[in-house]
Amino acid sequence: MQKVLGPEHPSTLTGMNNLAGTLGQLGKFSEAEAIQRQVLELQQKVQGVEHPLTLLSMSNLASTLHQQGKFVEAETMQRQVLELVQKALGPEHPLTLTGMNNLAGTLGQLGKHAEAETMQQQVLGLRRKVLGLEHPETLASMCNLSETLRQLNKFAETEDLQRQVLDLQQKMLGPAHPLVLRSMNNLAWILGRLDRHIEAETMQRQ
């Protein structure tokens, strides 16, 4: 395709992006990264920095960097993406919220849990407003925030949020779903940290 259409043709860039995605799924992150960097450079040149496809390519590259443990570089790129997406689409757009969520995850990996918590609180509030309480992405935000609160040793807040997660999961997925059982185990662990061992044991037996 590159020989026929040229390296800067949109179809060529789409094909390269798809190849990078496949390589990522195969765990070949360094190869995926190299292709994504080429795509991003060409898209910035041809389509401009603020074009939606350019922003998507930046986000994809940041995710690949994250997968390789290159968290500092991933953070830098995710901040750029978030700033541009917020400017182009507004603070409540789903892609903006995804960008915030991704950045918060990287901040957590870098040990910046307080900043991650602030961002995750914002994402959760907006997803509740925009998507509703029972949307899977809202539920994912609750789980992410719960983990960050746990990292900050805010166990009382973690318990409250984890109970909300468990109630919603039981309602949406049923009592025997693996995610429900995982949440019950997480809640039991939190109760143990709060020295409520009888409650923790009861939940573990369930």
Alpha helices in the chain (DSSP H): 2-5, 10-25, 29-46, 52-67, 71-89, 94-109, 113-130, 136-151, 155-173, 178-193, 197-205
**pLDDT tens readout for residues 118-177:** 999 999 999 999 999 999 999 999 999 999 999 999 999 999 999 999 999 999 999 889
**pLDDT tens readout for residues 79-126:** 999 999 999 889 998 889 999 999 999 999 999 999 999 999 999 999
The answer to whether 86 touches 47, Cβ cutoff 8 Å, is no
Can you tell me the distance from the alpha carbon of 22 to that of 29, in angstroms, rounded to the nearest whole number? Answer: 10
Q: What's the Cα-to-Cα distance from 105 to each of 63, 100, 149, rounded to whole Å?
A: 10, 9, 13
Give CA 155 to chain center in angstroms: 22
Q: What pLDDT does residue 89 have?
A: 87
Alpha helices in 131-154 (DSSP H): 136-151
The answer to whether 84 touches 41, Cβ cutoff 8 Å, is no
Q: What's the Cα-to-Cα distance from 84 to each of 14, 81, 90, 158, 185, rounded to whole Å?
A: 21, 5, 10, 32, 39
Domains in the chain: boundaries: 153-206
Angle, CA 160 vertex, CA 158 and CA 162 arms, to 5°: 65
Report the predicted TM-score, pTM, of the whole model to 2 decimal places: 0.85
Phi-psi region of 153 (alpha: psi -120 to 50; beta: other; left: phi over 0): left
